[in-house]
Amino acid sequence: MDEQANALSAIGDDPPASRQRVRGRKEAEEEFEQVQLTDEEINAPGRKWYFVHTYSGHENKVARAIRATVERMDAKDKVFHVIVPTEDEIEIREGQRRTVKRKLFPGYVLVQTIELKEGDPVSDSVWHLIRNTPGVTGFVSSGSQPVPLSPAEVNDILRTMRLEQPRVRVGFTVGQPVRIIEGPFEDFVGTVDEINTEKGKVKVLVNMFGRETPVELDFLQVEKL
């Protein structure tokens, strides 16, 4: 465990700025490729998708380490894709909007490999290749046998990653006071009465002329006090 932790720490050491920029571009390219996979690649015969567990917060480092191991061991014909499932999310802090990457499954990396069969020497070699990568703590398994995701589960994950419209992080709850920061009711303070996550709408009770009046707004038009 100590050796793996040390190796993972080495992977995470901050490189010079020039290398960080190159790494950033490479990660962006890898992410673009991940969500551009064709249905044929996703559901190719003889291939399965598995969740690999890792140290929380080290998903990207571990994904890079797995890819490097696959490259070094010339195993691209057995391990095909390594993905950290994420989605774009809009958050509002101090009145400022920004788009951030949110991990869909913190502590997990998604890998596509040959189907891992119990007692099969080639499957065992793939299992050991991934399992012995620094930062990997195991496969999601039933007993000792890795359990693959269903095609529907994989398609749902990749569909979420492909969403063009970022989700809005809801930073408030029903009954909580909020300030309206945009629109005709800007600077009004009210209380959250209803949240509709599907439509991205929130109903706020605003005191107008001595009575509470419900106002429907977009999530981005309010902020938590």
Res 109: pLDDT: 96
Name residue 112's amino acid. Answer: Q
pLDDT digits (tens, 9 = 90+) for 92-134: 666 567 788 889 999 999 999 999 999 999 999 999 999 999 9
- 199 pLDDT band (50/70/90 cuts)? confident
Q: Where in the chain is the domain with CATH 2.30.30.30?
A: 177-224
d(CA 37, CA 58): 24
Q: Where in the chain is the domain with CATH 3.30.70.940?
A: 2-164
Architecture of domain 177-224: Roll (2.30)
**178 in helix, strand or coil?**
strand
Query: In this structure, which topology does domain 2-164 adopt according to CATH?
Result: Alpha-Beta Plaits (3.30.70)
Res 30: pLDDT: 52
Helix ranges (H only) for 49-150 are 59-72, 121-131
Res 1: pLDDT: 47
Q: 161: closest CA among 110, 121, 196?
A: 110
Name residue 207's amino acid. Answer: N
pLDDT digits (tens, 9 = 90+) for 159-177: 888 776 677 777 788 999 9
pLDDT reading at 197 higher than 70: yes
Backbone dihedral angles phi then psi of residue 104, each to the nearest 5 degrees: -70, -35
Find tokens 């998604």 and name the residue.
Answer: 110
202: enclosing H helix or E strand: strand 201-208
d(CA 64, CA 29): 13
**151 in helix, strand or coil?**
helix
50 or 33: which leads in pLDDT = 50
- Cα 33 to Cα 96, 160, 161, 163, distances in angstroms: 30, 15, 11, 15
- 32 pLDDT band (50/70/90 cuts)? very low
Helices (H) and strands (E) in the chain, counts: 6, 14
d(CA 225, CA 223): 6
Dihedral sign of CA atoms 162, 165, 170, 174 in order: negative
Residue-averaged pLDDT of the chain: 83
Which are the contacts of 123, defined by CB distance < 8 A and separation ≥ 6? 114, 115, 116, 117
Res 160: pLDDT: 83
pLDDT digits (tens, 9 = 90+) for 80-89: 999 999 888 7
pLDDT reading at 76 higher than 90: yes
Res 144: pLDDT: 86
% of the chain residues with pLDDT over 90: 52
pLDDT digits (tens, 9 = 90+) for 6-29: 545 444 444 455 455 555 555 544
Res 47: pLDDT: 95
